[in-house]
A and B are shown apart, each in its own frame.
Chain A
Protein backbone atom coordinates (compact mmCIF):
# COMPACT_ATOMS: atom_id res chain seq x y z
CA UNK A 1 0.00 0.00 0.00
CA UNK A 2 1.21 3.51 -0.85
CA UNK A 3 -0.11 6.66 0.76
CA UNK A 4 0.44 10.20 -0.43
CA UNK A 5 -1.01 13.40 0.97
CA UNK A 6 -1.39 16.70 -0.87
CA UNK A 7 -3.10 19.90 0.16
CA UNK A 8 -5.94 21.06 -2.09
CA UNK A 9 -7.67 24.28 -1.07
CA UNK A 10 -8.59 23.72 2.59
CA UNK A 11 -8.51 19.92 2.37
CA UNK A 12 -5.88 17.26 2.77
CA UNK A 13 -6.23 14.81 -0.10
CA UNK A 14 -5.00 11.35 0.92
CA UNK A 15 -4.41 9.02 -2.03
CA UNK A 16 -4.23 5.33 -1.17
CA UNK A 17 -2.92 2.81 -3.66
CA UNK A 18 -3.02 -0.95 -3.20
CA UNK A 19 -4.75 -2.84 -0.41
CA UNK A 20 -6.25 -1.64 2.86
CA UNK A 21 -6.47 -4.79 4.99
CA UNK A 22 -5.44 -6.43 8.29
CA UNK A 23 -1.79 -5.95 7.42
CA UNK A 24 -1.80 -2.36 6.15
CA UNK A 25 -4.62 -0.60 8.02
CA UNK A 26 -2.41 0.40 10.98
CA UNK A 27 -0.02 2.12 8.55
CA UNK A 28 -2.85 4.32 7.29
CA UNK A 29 -4.01 5.05 10.83
CA UNK A 30 -0.55 6.25 11.81
CA UNK A 31 0.04 8.23 8.61
CA UNK A 32 -3.26 10.09 8.88
CA UNK A 33 -3.14 10.73 12.64
CA UNK A 34 -1.29 14.05 12.14
CA UNK A 35 -4.31 15.33 10.19
CA UNK A 36 -6.89 14.11 12.68
CA UNK A 37 -5.47 14.89 16.13
CA UNK A 38 -6.32 18.58 15.76
CA UNK A 39 -7.61 18.85 12.22
CA UNK A 40 -7.07 22.13 10.38
CA UNK A 41 -9.08 21.14 7.36
CA UNK A 42 -11.21 18.47 5.75
CA UNK A 43 -9.88 15.10 4.67
CA UNK A 44 -10.64 13.67 1.25
CA UNK A 45 -9.50 10.15 0.45
CA UNK A 46 -8.89 9.31 -3.19
CA UNK A 47 -9.56 5.61 -3.67
CA UNK A 48 -8.94 5.41 -7.43
CA UNK A 49 -5.91 3.18 -6.79
CA UNK A 50 -7.43 1.16 -3.96
CA UNK A 51 -7.93 -2.42 -5.12
CA UNK A 52 -9.17 -4.08 -1.95
CA UNK A 53 -10.56 -3.23 1.47
CA UNK A 54 -11.52 -5.43 4.43
CA UNK A 55 -13.19 -4.74 7.80
CA UNK A 56 -9.79 -3.84 9.28
CA UNK A 57 -9.59 -0.97 6.78
CA UNK A 58 -13.18 0.08 7.46
CA UNK A 59 -12.42 0.19 11.18
CA UNK A 60 -9.70 2.79 10.60
CA UNK A 61 -11.96 4.83 8.30
CA UNK A 62 -14.76 4.76 10.90
CA UNK A 63 -12.39 6.06 13.58
CA UNK A 64 -11.18 8.85 11.29
CA UNK A 65 -14.78 9.73 10.48
CA UNK A 66 -15.77 9.93 14.16
CA UNK A 67 -12.81 12.15 15.08
CA UNK A 68 -13.42 14.48 12.15
CA UNK A 69 -17.07 14.81 13.05
CA UNK A 70 -16.13 15.71 16.63
CA UNK A 71 -13.99 18.55 15.27
CA UNK A 72 -16.74 19.65 12.88
CA UNK A 73 -14.61 18.80 9.86
CA UNK A 74 -15.60 16.81 6.79
CA UNK A 75 -14.29 13.43 5.79
CA UNK A 76 -15.22 12.05 2.43
CA UNK A 77 -14.13 9.51 -0.15
CA UNK A 78 -13.94 9.77 -3.92
CA UNK A 79 -13.24 7.56 -6.93
CA UNK A 80 -13.92 4.21 -5.20
CA UNK A 81 -13.68 1.24 -7.58
CA UNK A 82 -16.73 -0.99 -8.00
CA UNK A 83 -15.66 -3.74 -5.61
CA UNK A 84 -14.63 -1.29 -2.89
CA UNK A 85 -17.89 0.64 -3.31
CA UNK A 86 -19.79 -2.63 -2.99
CA UNK A 87 -18.08 -3.39 0.34
CA UNK A 88 -19.13 0.08 1.56
CA UNK A 89 -22.72 -0.57 0.50
CA UNK A 90 -22.90 -4.02 2.12
CA UNK A 91 -21.63 -2.62 5.43
CA UNK A 92 -23.78 0.53 5.30
CA UNK A 93 -20.61 2.64 5.36
CA UNK A 94 -21.80 4.51 2.26
CA UNK A 95 -24.47 6.00 4.55
CA UNK A 96 -21.98 7.31 7.13
CA UNK A 97 -19.04 8.40 4.95
CA UNK A 98 -20.00 10.53 1.93
CA UNK A 99 -18.74 9.08 -1.37
CA UNK A 100 -18.22 11.08 -4.55
CA UNK A 101 -17.23 10.35 -8.12
CA UNK A 102 -14.42 12.90 -8.29
CA UNK A 103 -12.22 15.13 -6.12
CA UNK A 104 -13.93 18.19 -7.69
CA UNK A 105 -17.33 16.87 -6.59
CA UNK A 106 -15.92 16.34 -3.08
CA UNK A 107 -14.54 19.88 -2.92
CA UNK A 108 -17.68 21.60 -4.20
CA UNK A 109 -19.97 19.85 -1.73
CA UNK A 110 -21.81 22.14 0.61
CA UNK A 111 -20.70 25.29 -1.20
Chain B
Protein backbone atom coordinates (compact mmCIF):
# COMPACT_ATOMS: atom_id res chain seq x y z
CA UNK B 1 0.00 0.00 0.00
CA UNK B 2 2.78 2.38 0.99
CA UNK B 3 4.48 1.59 -2.26
CA UNK B 4 1.38 2.55 -4.19
CA UNK B 5 1.11 5.83 -2.36
CA UNK B 6 4.73 6.68 -3.14
CA UNK B 7 4.22 5.83 -6.76
CA UNK B 8 1.24 8.16 -6.92
CA UNK B 9 3.10 11.06 -5.38
CA UNK B 10 6.03 10.50 -7.77
CA UNK B 11 3.59 10.58 -10.60
CA UNK B 12 2.21 13.91 -9.44
CA UNK B 13 5.70 15.36 -9.20
CA UNK B 14 6.48 14.30 -12.71
CA UNK B 15 3.27 15.89 -13.93
CA UNK B 16 4.09 19.11 -12.17
CA UNK B 17 6.23 20.49 -14.94
CA UNK B 18 3.88 20.60 -17.89
CA UNK B 19 5.90 22.61 -20.34
CA UNK B 20 8.91 21.55 -22.29
CA UNK B 21 11.05 23.41 -24.78
CA UNK B 22 13.77 22.05 -26.98
CA UNK B 23 15.39 22.78 -30.29
CA UNK B 24 16.65 20.52 -33.00
CA UNK B 25 19.20 21.24 -35.73
CA UNK B 26 17.70 22.00 -39.11
CA UNK B 27 19.06 18.76 -40.62
CA UNK B 28 18.32 15.07 -40.80
CA UNK B 29 20.48 14.68 -37.71
CA UNK B 30 18.11 17.03 -35.94
CA UNK B 31 15.13 14.99 -37.09
CA UNK B 32 16.73 11.95 -35.48
CA UNK B 33 16.71 13.76 -32.12
CA UNK B 34 13.01 14.57 -32.31
CA UNK B 35 11.77 11.22 -31.08
CA UNK B 36 14.16 11.27 -28.12
CA UNK B 37 12.78 14.60 -26.89
CA UNK B 38 9.18 13.56 -27.44
CA UNK B 39 9.67 10.30 -25.59
CA UNK B 40 10.99 12.21 -22.62
CA UNK B 41 8.01 14.56 -22.57
CA UNK B 42 5.38 11.90 -23.06
CA UNK B 43 6.99 9.64 -20.47
CA UNK B 44 7.16 12.30 -17.77
CA UNK B 45 3.62 13.45 -18.50
CA UNK B 46 2.32 9.92 -18.63
CA UNK B 47 0.74 10.34 -22.04
CA UNK B 48 -0.68 7.36 -23.94
CA UNK B 49 1.65 5.57 -26.38
CA UNK B 50 -0.72 6.38 -29.24
CA UNK B 51 -0.35 10.10 -28.50
CA UNK B 52 3.44 9.77 -28.78
CA UNK B 53 3.10 8.14 -32.21
CA UNK B 54 0.70 10.81 -33.45
CA UNK B 55 2.73 13.68 -32.03
CA UNK B 56 5.90 12.21 -33.50
CA UNK B 57 4.27 11.99 -36.93
CA UNK B 58 2.92 15.55 -36.81
CA UNK B 59 6.27 17.02 -35.77
CA UNK B 60 8.33 14.89 -38.13
CA UNK B 61 6.20 16.00 -41.07
CA UNK B 62 6.45 19.69 -40.20
CA UNK B 63 10.19 19.57 -39.42
CA UNK B 64 11.05 17.42 -42.46
CA UNK B 65 9.17 19.90 -44.64
CA UNK B 66 11.26 22.65 -43.17
CA UNK B 67 14.58 20.79 -43.51
CA UNK B 68 13.76 20.03 -47.14
CA UNK B 69 12.61 23.51 -48.17
CA UNK B 70 14.44 26.02 -46.00
CA UNK B 71 17.40 26.39 -48.37
CA UNK B 72 20.14 26.77 -45.78
CA UNK B 73 20.13 23.45 -43.97
CA UNK B 74 23.44 23.95 -42.20
CA UNK B 75 22.23 27.11 -40.49
CA UNK B 76 19.64 27.30 -37.83
CA UNK B 77 17.39 25.39 -35.55
CA UNK B 78 13.76 24.56 -35.18
CA UNK B 79 12.45 25.57 -31.76
CA UNK B 80 9.71 23.37 -30.37
CA UNK B 81 7.59 24.03 -27.28
CA UNK B 82 5.07 21.64 -25.74
CA UNK B 83 2.57 22.62 -23.06
CA UNK B 84 -0.05 20.43 -21.43
CA UNK B 85 -2.96 22.10 -19.64
CA UNK B 86 -5.37 20.79 -16.99
CA UNK B 87 -7.98 19.97 -19.61
CA UNK B 88 -5.60 17.45 -21.21
CA UNK B 89 -5.03 19.69 -24.18
CA UNK B 90 -1.55 19.82 -25.62
CA UNK B 91 -0.33 23.00 -27.33
CA UNK B 92 2.65 22.61 -29.64
CA UNK B 93 4.55 25.57 -31.08
CA UNK B 94 7.22 25.40 -33.78
CA UNK B 95 9.44 28.33 -34.70
CA UNK B 96 12.01 28.56 -37.43
CA UNK B 97 13.84 31.40 -39.15
CA UNK B 98 13.49 30.03 -42.69
CA UNK B 99 11.72 31.80 -45.57
CA UNK B 100 7.99 32.42 -45.01
CA UNK B 101 5.98 29.22 -45.35
CA UNK B 102 2.36 28.93 -44.30
CA UNK B 103 1.36 25.25 -43.98
CA UNK B 104 -2.28 26.21 -43.41
CA UNK B 105 -2.53 27.41 -47.02
CA UNK B 106 -1.28 24.17 -48.57
CA UNK B 107 -4.24 22.49 -50.31
CA UNK B 108 -5.11 18.97 -49.14
CA UNK B 109 -4.05 16.10 -51.43
CA UNK B 110 -6.61 14.10 -53.41
CA UNK B 111 -6.37 10.75 -51.66
CA UNK B 112 -8.84 9.08 -54.02
CA UNK B 113 -6.71 9.27 -57.19
CA UNK B 114 -5.67 5.99 -58.84
CA UNK B 115 -2.11 4.85 -58.24
CA UNK B 116 -0.69 6.19 -61.52
CA UNK B 117 -1.72 9.72 -60.57
CA UNK B 118 -0.88 9.54 -56.89
CA UNK B 119 2.10 11.36 -55.44
CA UNK B 120 3.29 11.59 -51.85
CA UNK B 121 3.27 15.39 -52.02
CA UNK B 122 1.10 17.08 -49.42
CA UNK B 123 0.61 13.89 -47.43
CA UNK B 124 2.69 15.14 -44.54
CA UNK B 125 0.44 18.13 -43.92
CA UNK B 126 -2.58 15.90 -44.42
CA UNK B 127 -1.40 13.88 -41.39
CA UNK B 128 -0.72 17.10 -39.46
CA UNK B 129 -4.31 18.25 -40.01
CA UNK B 130 -5.74 14.84 -39.21
CA UNK B 131 -3.93 14.40 -35.91
CA UNK B 132 -4.38 17.93 -34.53
CA UNK B 133 -7.50 19.84 -33.45
CA UNK B 134 -6.29 23.24 -34.61
CA UNK B 135 -3.47 24.57 -36.76
CA UNK B 136 -2.52 28.25 -37.06
CA UNK B 137 0.35 30.14 -38.65
CA UNK B 138 1.91 33.56 -38.12
CA UNK B 139 5.06 35.31 -39.24
CA UNK B 140 6.66 36.89 -36.23
CA UNK B 141 10.08 38.64 -36.03
CA UNK B 142 11.18 37.01 -39.30
CA UNK B 143 10.20 33.62 -37.97
CA UNK B 144 7.57 31.13 -39.03
CA UNK B 145 5.42 30.29 -36.04
CA UNK B 146 3.14 27.27 -36.31
CA UNK B 147 0.84 26.54 -33.37
CA UNK B 148 -1.21 23.39 -32.95
CA UNK B 149 -3.51 22.06 -30.30
CA UNK B 150 -4.26 18.42 -29.66
CA UNK B 151 -6.69 16.98 -27.15
CA UNK B 152 -5.33 13.91 -25.39
CA UNK B 153 -7.77 11.05 -25.61
CA UNK B 154 -7.94 8.04 -23.38
CA UNK B 155 -6.35 9.19 -20.12
On A, residues with C-beta under 8 Å from B are 19, 21-23, 51-52, 54-56, 58-59, 62, 65-66, 69, 83, 87, 90-92, 95-96
Contacts and interface: CB of A to CB of B under 8 A. Distances in A.
A83 B53 contact: yes
Contacts of A55: 61, 64, 120, 123-124, 127
A59 B56 CA distance: 18
Given A22-B28, A91-B123, A52 B53 contact: yes
Q: What is the interface residue range for chain B against chain A?
A: 20 to 34
Contacts of B112: 92, 95
Contacts of A95: 112
Contacts of B13: none
Nearest to A90: B130
B120 A54 contact: no
Contact of B60 (A21, A59, A92): A21
Interface in B44-70: 50, 53, 56-57, 60-61, 64, 67
A56 B64 contact: yes
B100 interface: no
A66 B115 contact: yes
B125 to A, nearest CB: 9
Closest 5 CB pairs of A and B: A92-B111, A59-B120, A55-B123, A55-B124, A96-B115
A62 B116 CA distance: 10
Interface in B114-155: 114-116, 118-120, 123-124, 126-127, 130
Contacts of A91: 111, 123, 126-127
Nearest to B31: A22
Contacts of B50: 83
Given A23-B28, A58-B123, 15 more contacts: A21-B60, A51-B53, A54-B57, A54-B124, A54-B127, A55-B127, A59-B123, A66-B115, A66-B116, A69-B115, A83-B53, A87-B127, A91-B126, A92-B111, A92-B112
